[in-house]
Amino acid sequence: MTNNPRADVGKVSSTRMYTGRVISLDVDEVRFPDGSIGSLEMIRHPGASAIVPLIGAPDDPDPELVLIRQYRYAAEQYLYEIPAGRLDPGETPADCASRELLEETGYTAERVIPLFTMFTTPGFTDEKIHLFLATGLTAGQHQREADEFLELVPTKLSRALSMIEQGEIQDAKTALALLYTAGFKLG
């Protein structure tokens, strides 16, 4: 299967319906692979980075990492997550991950290792999240934004994996980053 079966597949036109602080909403006219044209509502997002902060040594078979427990209005509850945030204009994904690590946890990392990039919900948004692993952490003072209500939750990787299995970790980027870290980077 090819990623783009027809050369003429894609956006025909776009109309901006809303521009906000974080997202914009466009209504795009799109040519589909069968040649038909339809309208899709698309949320445009500048992208984000997220980072798995390892407190322990990367060669530890069950390293300790830092989760955050953060209130999320859209979910109407606190969620366990890894530090993450949106890219600032002109900022690299690695710089964003390092900035979010410091802002949310107070830690700085000796090494920031790329894991992979994922689409969050490609059915209606172009948002991509760049995932990283942080090692060689040094504790410092967090610099949280006014709307960030969170606590740090140091957790063994094995416990975090159990939290995914038991449905305690419901945030997709966090679950995927932890599973990737366990299976590919530390496995």
Contact status, residue 110 vs residue 98, Cβ threshold 8 Å: no
Is the Cβ–Cβ distance between 141 and 106 less than 8 Å? yes
Alpha-carbon dihedral 100, 106, 109, 115, rounded to 10 degrees: -40
127 is catalytic: no
Report how far residue 37's alpha carbon sits from residue 94's, in angstroms, rounded to the nearest whole number.
38
Residue tagged active-site, from 64, 91, 103, 148: 148
d(CA 61, CA 55): 13
Active site residues: 148
